[in-house]
Structure 1
Amino acid sequence: MSFRSEPMLWIHLSGLAVVPICLELCLLGLALGDPIFPVWLEVSLVAAIGVVPVLWMQLQRPFYIFAILAIALKQEKLTTQQCQILSLINTRVNKILALVAAVLLVTVLWQLYQIAPVAALDLFPSKWRVLGLLLAGCSFALGNLFFQIPLSVVRVLVTSDAEFAATKPYSQEKIAPDFTILGLQVNQLIPKFANTHTEN
């Protein structure tokens, strides 16, 4: 079976659909109240909350993609093919992509800040500005997360069959210290529907 048939690749790729929603929430946060800090400080604050933690994770301990919501597949239950996928995720190329994505997203943040006055919510007093910046930062962090993880998945999906076949499986003993694993670890994430296409 082709490595591109791995369900978790496509599940995480679909996370891109959440990015526009997160950016809209970020814009809403930036539109709350009137600026109370210098422009550079407000943008830096939102960027620090929204970019740094996700970027640090992807550079130091990439997200373990065999996890969804609050559960993760135990490392000892991974197939050889799944371990090969992890090898492609934890590469220098992916770290460079993460850096490029971070720069791109900061550029998007700057654009959002520029148009925020158009969406300004005058119903809220200036003292709500700090709350708005926190909302913007948290929303931007989620947007980064749902952009960075699919980006690492795309890197796997565009890998040629020959390159994938030559990829050495990631050592199961190194997975826990090298990847960010979130959630309760279980033996199986997705039910295996064996023989579902049997003879009619």
Structure 2
Amino acid sequence: MRSFWSEPFLWIHLSGAAALPIFLGLCLLGLAVGSPAIPVWLEVFLVAVAGIVPVLWMQWFRPFYIFSILVVAVKPDKLTDLQQQILTRFKTKLNKGVALFVAVLLAIILWHLYRLAPLAAGVAPFPPSWRWAGLLLAGSAFLVSNLFLQVSASVMAVLLTPESQFAATKPYFLQKIKHDFTIALWQVDRLLPTFAGEITVAEAAPGESSNPPPTIGNSPAGSIVNPQLSDTNGVTSLPQQSIEK
């Protein structure tokens, strides 16, 4: 197991691909509304541009900041060195190639969905006269489909990075994260709870001393109830009354 596989945000966003069939199904339902109002190629082009271009641009120039969930993100200055190394992996040429491949793949899927759309006309969410509403639904669902698959594919590329190559990766500059990544405006210190295996170092309270307690003889000072009963050699003497008894 690679060391960076312990980062939970990687697995959270990898699992986002499970939502892909849901949104592709919504895209199909949107395309099934009514009959084409404009040439077929133009409809497919408009839906493809609305769904592919924004996400592809993001992944190429300002990749999705994976240390976030929905609209909440971890503050960049709270990231560990390991997390900063992970961000560096998202800015590689490999991830740009993966983003382009996913865009082409989803364009092909969209074309097949368009051809299958008449089969779903009976369960279309809008009346046939609402063709533009159907296209709007199709474009929106296709956009979300791209987002989920693009992020999951980029995470998979990072997870498959060899351990030696990842170890040689430099942490990303904290000052550049907000400029180079697409990050939510609502930022917090921490999003996930502390998991088993994470080491937490507690800071000493002001005024506390880290020196060990003084000892009397061979015993700590706190272990002797009455220090006056000890002689100079550290041997505890019994009261005189108890000897007479």
TM-score, normalized by the shorter chain, greater than 0.5: yes
Asked whether 1:29 is paired with 2:30, we answer yes
Partner deviation per Cα, 1:19-72 (whole Å, 9 max, x = no partner): 000000000000011111111010011001111111111111000000001210
Other structure's SS at 1:151 match: helix
Distance (whole Å) between structure 2 residues aligned to residue 51 and residue 127 of structure 1: 27
Contact 1:67–1:183 (CA under 8 A) maintained in structure 2: no
Q: TM-score, normalised by structure 1?
A: 0.94
**Residue 91 of structure 1, CA deviation:** 1.2
Contact 1:15–1:150 (CA under 8 A) maintained in structure 2: yes
Aligned positions of 1:2-81 closer than 5 A: 2-81=3-82
Aligned residues: 196
Aligned to 2:87: 86
| CA-atom RMSD in angstroms | 1.6
User: Compared with structure 1, are the counterparts of its residues 127 and 3 closer, same or farther at alpha carbon in structure 2 (3 Å cutoff)?
Assistant: same
Contact 1:84–1:168 (CA under 8 A) maintained in structure 2: yes
User: Compared with structure 1, are the counterparts of its residues 86 and 41 closer, same or farther at alpha carbon in structure 2 (3 Å cutoff)?
Assistant: same
Distance (whole Å) between structure 2 residues aligned to residue 87 and residue 162 of structure 1: 15
Letter of the 1:140 counterpart: F
Distance (whole Å) between structure 2 residues aligned to residue 14 and residue 62 of structure 1: 18
Q: Which has the higher contact order (CA 8 A, sep 6+)?
A: 1
Contact 1:19–1:143 (CA under 8 A) maintained in structure 2: yes
User: Compared with structure 1, are the counterparts of its residues 167 and 38 closer, same or farther at alpha carbon in structure 2 (3 Å cutoff)?
Assistant: same
**Residue 121 of structure 1, CA deviation:** 3.5
Asked whether 1:110 is paired with 2:117, we answer no
Contact 2:29–2:123 (CA under 8 A) maintained in structure 1: no
Aligned to 1:101: 102
User: Compared with structure 1, are the counterparts of its residues 195 and 165 closer, same or farther at alpha carbon in structure 2 (3 Å cutoff)?
Assistant: closer
Kindly name which structure, 1 or 2, has the bigger radius of gyration based on alpha carbons: 2
Amino-acid identity (%): 59
Aligned to 2:176: 174
Structure 2: which 5+ runs fail to align?
199-245
Distance (whole Å) between structure 1 residues aligned to residue 94 and residue 195 of structure 2: 35
Aligned to 1:142: 144
* Moved beyond 2 Å, runs of 4+: 121-127, 193-196
Please identify which structure carries the higher helix content: 1
